[in-house]
A and B are shown apart, each in its own frame.
Chain A
């Protein structure tokens, strides 16, 4: 099956810093979502981005489908950005059936 690798596994930032999270996947996808899991376990959908670039406030994401990677940018990080960020992909024939990466644990210190 499709493999999803996220890097880095852990990231510690000072408030106000910028960061880039990466997601590599092993096969063609027609679904890619970035999620933020808060300390209570709730998964919040950040972006649906199987290709192209999107921005939402301080967050933006870019997926280069032909090169099989996606990037999540966080600018001017805040302590509330802390948590685990997951990339999840779905491939053709089962695009809603998401395979998750292992996540990037982000800690933003004041």
Chain B
């Protein structure tokens, strides 16, 4: 079945630094990937839709300059949290589906802690 890999699984950084999270579709090509954010004991909130070869589409209230998304190939999307602050600490999860299929597969998530 479809496998989505995320890296790193955990990252701790200092306030003011930038952190990049990678999302890879391992055995299929994904023209579209999705980035979600989950606060402790809360639901998943869609942040943005990552489109291969074009700009990402951000949900209302999500700062595009804070959360930079690059989808440079059909198997890789990256989320960069720029100038991270403690309030950016969260669990970030990406998802993807085989083109034309509706079933979304999720990565294992990346837990970001900003000190």
| 76-110 of chain A: CB within 8 A of chain B | 86, 88, 90, 95-103
Interface SS majority for chain B: strand
Number of interface residues of B (CB under 8 A): 22
Contact of A96 among B32, B38, B43, B111 (CB under 8 A): B32
In the assembled complex, 5 residue pairs joining A and B whose CB atoms fall closer than 8 Å, in A order, are A35-B106, A43-B44, A43-B109, A86-B44, A103-B43
Contact B103 A97 (CB under 8 A): no
Contact call B109/A41, Cβ cutoff below 8 A? yes
Task: Mark interface residues in A33-67 (1 if CB within 8 Å of B CB, else 0).
Answer: 10100001111010010100000000000000000
Q: Quick one: CB contact mask for B17-49 with A, threshold 8 Å, 1 for yes?
A: 000000000000000101010100011111001
A48 to B111: give the CA distance in the assembly, Å: 27
Q: Do the beta carbons of A95 and B102 come within 8 Å of each other?
A: yes
Would you call B102 and A90 a contact (CB within 8 A)?
A: yes
Residues in B with CB closer than 8 Å to A30 are: 102
CB distance from A95 to the nearest CB of B (A): 5
- Contact indicator A41/B104 (Cβ below 8 Å): no
